[in-house]
Structure 1
Amino acid sequence: MHDTAPILFFDSGVGGLSVVAPTVALLPTAGIVYVADSAGFPYGTKSEGEIAARVPALLGRLAERYRPRLIVIACNTASTIALGAVRAALDVPIVGTVPAIKPAAAISRTRTIGVLGTAATVRQPYVDDLVARFAADCTVLRYGSAALVEIAEAALAGEAPSPDAVATELAGLFGQPGGVRIDTIVNACTHFPLLEGDMTAVAPPGVAFVDGGPGIARRVAALTHGQAWPAVAPPARLVLTRLGERERAIAATLADRGFASAETL
């Protein structure tokens, strides 16, 4: 493995940045290619068939162009639907993203957990399996929010999140029967950790938010252990499948965070 081979992170939008950050903390000189499928955004309102067809084909093109040492599907929706197909199609290690139900169950005191994701993610049988395996003694309430995904995207484009709008989405969990007992929320969409401060500000006191970013970073570090890395981190690359007005604003924000000028696929 050449030391310049990058790690490729893939999401429908900016959510995967919440996975990039803990990965870079462990692998500070890794080359990073961040891909946002802006032409396909948002994934959470699409059918399983659309995602299952789109994601493997797109990742095949990306693998051919960027020759990554490893691909992180930094999107819960894409992972729960298309991870198996991507692994079958590509000869490169693939790390998926799944809701952090196991660590949430480990810290919940009230044994009532909220799973906050997209509608496509929270209805997946994969989530049922995680609940059965790791949170069988918990009440697990789910809520799918397309609005929070849009709020996170807009925030990176420069639009401050509305506390009322964020509170309305959290009410989708707390307003369910038994929801007042929730003490731990699983951010089951990679966009949502980008709004954690905003959500904490409007959530009941003491509610903890858990996401899979740190665990994914540890998995990436383990899979690449012993591989050569550059002495100095190269500029991170930003790739978009559509470059519209909002994408240009996001690219400008990310340029201030060390990403190179946006490329289009």
Structure 2
Amino acid sequence: MSLQPIGVFDSGIGGLSVLQALQAALPLEHFVYLDDSLYAPYGERDDAHVIARSRAITQYLRHTHGIKALVIACNTATMAAVARLRAEHPDLPIVGVEPGLKPAAAASHTQRVGVIGTRGTVTSAKFNALRLSLQDQAEFVVQPCDGLADAISRSVETQDDSKVISLCADYTCAMGRFGINPGEIDTLVLGCTHYVFAQAHLAKLVGPEVRILSTGEPVARRTQHLLEQAGTLNRNGPGRVQLVTTGEPAVLQAAARRWLGFATDEAVRWIA
């Protein structure tokens, strides 16, 4: 069991940011990363679509790759499908991602926190329940960012970040003033795993004093804890990564090369 891989999936290449954190925390583990770009974007589709894809991917990763744990590296899929997947696979440790509202509220000095995410994430019942549970700790300025995740993905093919920069500017401008003075947003939560790859652009727009929070490291710590509990940590590395996609393999491979900085085996195409 310890030698079996950990499955990681997202609607596209954004989950590579979570994979990066997982590799840093668990360098001896094997991973299978699945990019479901043929059926993306999840964040602009209804829950039924996201649940159906999440179920199909989980079945594939279990039956074809024999995964020992699953990381849902997608905020939208976590919000829509994590409860269903845990009920259907009670023997499989499953870790989801969600926007870091609680740590952001704790870190903010102005008690004004910005949250950017896909429309599917920030309009979900689970997200709004989380936000309401923290409303006495901070004011959350929530901004759906239609098209940003897709623009980040496309920038891999075009080698052009101009659309990403333009959308980041539009959405941060719509949220109001950023800074550390009273009434300003001093903390920005990245509510989509794709947005980590636009963090440098966002930092220039909001300023160096604004804290930017993502979810990769907490997810990695939680995954490590569950594997330790189950006694399935791999102690016989080195670890390896297999890339699988429903889209164009060359795009996923190029994204892994650009953002993770390591050479990988050729990505595999999964028709489903």
TM-score, normalised by the number of residues in structure 2:
0.88
2:160 corresponds to: 160
Alignment of 1:175-254 (within 5 A): 181-225=184-228, 226-229=231-234, 231-243=236-248, 247-254=249-256
Counterpart amino acid of residue 218 in structure 1: R
Offset at residue 253 of structure 1 (A)? 4.2
Counterpart amino acid of residue 166 in structure 1: C
Alignment of 1:107-186 (within 5 A): 107-157=107-157, 159-162=159-162, 163-174=165-176, 181-186=184-189
Offset at residue 21 of structure 1 (A)? 1.4
> Deviations for 1:185-231, whole angstroms, at most 9, x for unmatched residues?
11010111111111101224422111111111100010111434153
Question: Which deviates further from its counterpart, 128-137 or 107-116?
Answer: 128-137
Give the SS at the match of 2:265: coil
Offset at residue 93 of structure 1 (A)? 1.1
Counterpart amino acid of residue 37 in structure 2: S
> Deviations for 1:62-93, whole angstroms, at most 9, x for unmatched residues?
21111111000000000001111111222311
Of all paired residues, the percent bearing the same amino acid is 31
TM-score, normalised by the number of residues in structure 1:
0.90
Contact between 1:35 and 1:240, CA under 8 Å: does it hold in 2? yes
Distance 1:111 1:181 in 2: 9
Alignment of 1:98-113 (within 5 A): 98-113=98-113
Give the SS at the match of 2:193: coil
> Deviations for 1:30-70, whole angstroms, at most 9, x for unmatched residues?
10110010111110110112212221122212211111110
Runs of 5+ unmatched residues, structure 1: none
Give the SS at the match of 2:115: strand
Distance 2:65 2:174 in 1: 40
Offset at residue 175 of structure 1 (A)? 7.3
Contact between 1:237 and 1:260, CA under 8 Å: does it hold in 2? yes
Distance 1:82 1:253 in 2: 26
1:112–1:5 Cα change, 3 Å: same
Paired residues, number: 259
1:65 corresponds to: 64
> Deviations for 1:223-261, whole angstroms, at most 9, x for unmatched residues?
111434153324311000122xxx523313425623211
1:94 corresponds to: 94
1:257 corresponds to: 262
Contact between 2:13 and 2:255, CA under 8 Å: does it hold in 1? no
Question: Which deviates further from its counterpart, 250-259 or 59-68?
Answer: 250-259
Does 1:52 pair with 2:51? yes
Give the SS at the match of 2:174: helix
> Deviations for 1:156-203, whole angstroms, at most 9, x for unmatched residues?
335232233321122232279xx9621111101011111111110122
Distance 2:236 2:147 in 1: 41
Counterpart amino acid of residue 164 in structure 1: S
Offset at residue 153 of structure 1 (A)? 0.9
Distance 2:8 2:74 in 1: 9
Runs of 5+ unmatched residues, structure 2: none
